[in-house]
A and B are shown apart, each in its own frame.
Chain A
Amino acid sequence: MTRLPINSPATRPVASTRSFAAALQAIAGARAFAVALLLCIALPAAAPALAQSGPYVAPGTTETLIKDPADKARYDKLAHELRCLVCQNQTLADSDASLAIDLRRQLESMIVDGRSDDEIKAYLVARYGDFVLYRPPMQSNTWLLWFGPFALLAIGIVIWFGLHRRRKPAGADGAGVAGVRTVTPRSTPEGGGATTAADLERVSKLLDRD
């Protein structure tokens, strides 16, 4: 297939030297771009030629050393509770990353050695941090994680009550003084208590329904 460059002087006669220079510049620019593009495509392809395409996975037994069914069950449970650190949203059991293969092998040999689940977890947490556990432990720096949603819920309820009490005019259910309502349609300290109690009752009814 032959294709002439669109901008080349051969296909497009140039009237003045100025536009000729511009055309030359355009060609140079296009050529630099093409070279850059080629490099982008060629470099990643060339990289594996320099080295292996990825980490080397040592040959050896994986998931074959464990014979006892109880140990096998432990292995499966732990592999599903531990995180693959390379592909962060997968468990060790799910992942095919080479580090996950190594970690599974580590897990297997520790089980064969008779280490307990807690010992194995402690070993990995000491090296990779709590992040390796899919279920975050309850400790001082995870309180926000564990109790944050409940705290937000509590704050939400408080705000809801606060706003509701304010919006409702005092004595709406006849408890307040009529005169107050016509002057300023706002809750008074005296009227507020009664309204809140009624509201509380209504809210608890609403909540019970669900």
Chain B
Amino acid sequence: MKIFRFLLPALLFAVISLFLYKGLSQNPRDLPSALIGKPAPSFTLPVLGQESQQWSPTELAGKVWLLNVWGSWCAACQVEHPLLNDLAKTGTVPIIGLAWKDKPAASIAWLKRFGDPYQVVVSDIDGRAGIDWGVYGAPETFVVDKQGIIRFKHVGPITPELMQTKLMPLLRQLQTAS
């Protein structure tokens, strides 16, 4: 009984410590992705630089592809951009750019400056397609599989570690799957 009286505060302390410790390593801005495992929302948006043309994800049906949400105003996008340039050079996967909440002229100038890894860039000037994809900041990157299902989402700049340990294996796995 005496042991119980001594153990109880210790146990309480341990439980509270555990919760607080877990809280330390969690980023409240990382929201759970609601769209994973769901069909990629469709959109029809003008192609950057060729505004008379429209583009829609249906054009990549049956393929594994990457949607990268960025904007010329987004500093973190500059950080991840070289990785996307490298990925584009390997030709592993079509990368589609969603110029999110950006003026087309600014987007074009930015791509000239930092390189253009995108097969197509679509302009989402008023951010509606972004809302449809549950985007709440840039950059965000989605992986869509051959069936058009979103399989992965990353919020924030892609890191070399993420690219090597997660993104590349997933892309390969999805590409070999029927």
Of A53, A57, A128, the contact of B101 (CB 8 Å cutoff): A57
CB–CB A98/B101 < 8 A = yes
| A181 at the binding interface (Cβ < 8 Å) | no
| B28 at the binding interface (Cβ < 8 Å) | yes
Q: B93-139: which have CB < 8 Å to A?
A: 100-103, 106, 110, 125-128, 130-134, 136-138
> Which residues of the other chain, A, contact B71 by a CB distance below 8 angstroms?
55-56
CB–CB A55/B8 < 8 A = no
B contact patch SS: loop
**Interface band, chain B:** 35 or more
A-B contact count (CB 8 A): 80
| A69 at the binding interface (Cβ < 8 Å) | no
Also in contact, A56 and B131, with CB within 8 A (given A99-B136, A127-B34)? no
**Interface band, chain A:** 20 to 34
A203 CB to nearest chain B CB (Å): 20
CB–CB A47/B137 < 8 A = no
> Which residues of the other chain, B, contact A105 by a CB distance below 8 angstroms?
126
> Which residues of the other chain, A, contact B133 by a CB distance below 8 angstroms?
127
> Which residues of the other chain, B, contact A47 by a CB distance below 8 angstroms?
75
Residue-wise, chain B 57-82 has the 8 Å CB interface mask toward A (1 for contact) of 00000000000000111110000000
CB–CB B127/A88 < 8 A = no
Also in contact, A159 and B110, with CB within 8 A (given A58-B125, A99-B136)? no
CB–CB A125/B131 < 8 A = no
Give the interface of B toward A (CB within 8 A): 1, 5, 8, 28-29, 31-35, 38, 41, 71-75, 100-103, 106, 110, 125-128, 130-134, 136-138
